[in-house]
Amino acid sequence: GYGKSLLNVMRKQQDAVHAGTEFPLTLGRDFSGTVVEVGRRVSKFKVGDQVWGALGAFRPGSHAEYTVTSQSEVSGIWILILGGSGGIGTFAVQLCKAWGMHVTTTCSADAVDLVTSLGADEVVDYTQEPLWEKLNHLNRFEYILDTLGGDATDKAAKLLSPWKNSKLVTLNFPLLRNSDELGVVPGLLKSAISAGITTLKGFQSGGSIRWAAFNPNGPALETIRHLVEKGKIRPIVYKVFPFSDVPSAYKQVSEGHLRGKVVVDFQSDPHP
């Protein structure tokens, strides 16, 4: 059939340890259905889970009553969100669940109920030791969002699924801090060196580690609006301050340990 020679080579590379009778060609790539059996080393799914996905071109197709696939080819991408109870974390948990991801996140004990109510599948109390061993025993992650920074970034990088194009995105963007501490040119140089080292760390495991910074995005906000209107995302407000008390709002944010967003209300103060 079409592409037979190349597909057979690819299949042999993937299934070099398997041998047996050649089955007739089965067409179809996309599928959805219910898991009826799992292999011994499958950790992401259990019998009865509703899944969807796609099969590789070198595997038997999906136009059959049953199909066999790898857990990496099925819906349910695993993501770890470090700091799931803050303004960014509470939003990220809901967004990732709306996208069909399996969400693991960290927070302190008093925020577990809140984060669980947002849909997180696993919530780990970061005040309990050893945090990183607990996370490592749960699973390896295709994506990690680091809202904490510091040494958490390097530790989290070790939790990425190896050689699966996994990605860690950290919001601890050092450019402004380095520029303030060292000056513009030395700060840029230090940031560039740090970026190179970070990139190499990702390459070592077949993934990538990236910095992220805020950038306005109208189309993304439009997508979020639809999710909010559908009830997939709800704003989590931790505390509201009047404009006359905005220094207290800034102080609250700088102290951290928030449970959602801090809001400044311009309409609560009497107008002159």
pLDDT tens-digit series, residues 207-245: 788 888 777 788 888 999 999 999 999 999 999 999 999
Helix (H) or strand (E) holding 197: helix 184-204
Question: CB-side exposure of 111: number of CA atoms within 13 Å?
Answer: 26
pLDDT, tens digit (0-9, with 9 covering 90-100), for 179-202: 888 888 888 888 788 777 777 766
Threshold 0.75, pTM exceeds: no
pLDDT: is 205 or 108 the higher one?
108
Q: How many CB atoms lie within 10 A of CB 137?
A: 7
pLDDT, tens digit (0-9, with 9 covering 90-100), for 7-65: 565 556 555 444 555 566 777 777 778 889 988 878 777 898 887 777 766 577 777 77
Q: What does the pLDDT read at residue 251?
A: 92
- Cis peptide leading into residue 130 (ω within 30°): yes
DSSP 141: B
Residue ranges of domains in the chain, CATH in brackets: 26-72 (no CATH), 78-227 (3.40.50.720), 236-272 (no CATH)
pLDDT confidence band for 146 (50 / 70 / 90): very high
User: In the structure encoding, which two tokens stand for residue 191, read together?
Assistant: 């940031």
Collapse the DSSP code of 195 into the 3-class scheme (helix H, G, I; strand E, B; otherwise coil) and give the result: helix
Length of the chain measured in residues: 272
Question: CB-side exposure of 121: number of CA atoms within 13 Å?
Answer: 19
| Separation between Cα atoms, residue 29 and residue 45, nearest integer Å | 20
In the block, which residue shows the tokens 């931790």?
Answer: 238
Nearest Cα neighbor of 43 from 150, 137, 156, 109 is 137
In sequence order, what are the residues at sequence separation of 6 or more whose Cβ sits closer than 8 angstroms to the Cβ of residue 193?
Answer: none
Q: What does the pLDDT read at residue 5?
A: 58
Given a contact cutoff of 8 angstroms between Cβ atoms, the answer to whether 67 and 91 are in contact is no
Query: 248 vs 47, 186, 242, 260, 271, CA distance in Å?
Result: 51, 34, 9, 16, 20
Query: 28 vs 12, 67, 207, CA distance in Å?
Result: 20, 10, 30
